[in-house]
Amino acid sequence: MTKPPKTAKPPLPTTLWLPGPHDTEPPPAAPAVLPAWAIDKIRTEFTHRPGRTHAPLLRLAIGDTEPGMDARTPCVADGGPSDDTHVSSRGKPVILAELHPATLPATEPHSLYGAHDQGAMDDSWPGFFHRAHRLLRGNGLLLLAARQRRDADQLTDPLGLLVAYARTAGFRYLQHIVIVHGHPVGDRIVPAPPDDAPPGLIHSDLLVLRAEGSRP
């Protein structure tokens, strides 16, 4: 009997988030990546649980990936500094990690991250994802906010590398959300990119990851 041909997996859903008619605040300042209206939408979409206490949102603004990065990364929970008592009293948090492009290693044109950069990445991002998985395992959510950077006059995209590290740590990649930087004027969106964004870049990317099972 001939086996039926394998069907390709459907692509992951991509959602476009646009600013609303009153979302005119200035673009985010580094190391933050997302505008305030997008943070509010994240709270609505990912922390509100009907009939249950809302999950706390832990915001990490990652400004470097040198050894000891955890101690230097500011963490804010629902508008105030986080602490273990606050998190444990309200259940498993949703973690939003905003990754400034400067934290990612430069790349050569038309290539992946070079061998001279890989060692630094092995000392930082894989460990970050494994630590996040230990906190969130059992269907907890990790949201990664990032955007492209320009290296050697080429826009480079960190998403593939980050997803690979996250999957190795035990996360499942659920969704890709495109967040437009701009403000509405009439029936159009006027670009309002961050001051440090490369020319032509008017959006950030939000990856939705779920921590599944347990890791050794």
Cα 162 to Cα 159: distance, rounded to the nearest angstrom: 5
Per-residue pLDDT of the chain (216 residues; tens, 9 = 90+): 555 555 555 566 688 998 888 777 777 777 778 888 999 999 999 998 777 778 899 998 887 777 777 777 778 886 444 444 344 445 688 999 998 777 765 544 343 444 344 433 445 778 888 888 988 988 899 999 988 776 666 767 778 888 988 999 999 999 999 999 888 888 888 888 877 777 777 888 999 999 987 554
Could you tell me the CA-to-CA distances from 92 to 42, 83, 127, 137, 142 in Å, in that order?
Answer: 16, 13, 20, 9, 11
Residues in the chain, total = 216
- Tally helices (H) and strands (E) across the chain: 6, 12
Cα 120 to Cα 124: distance, rounded to the nearest angstrom: 7
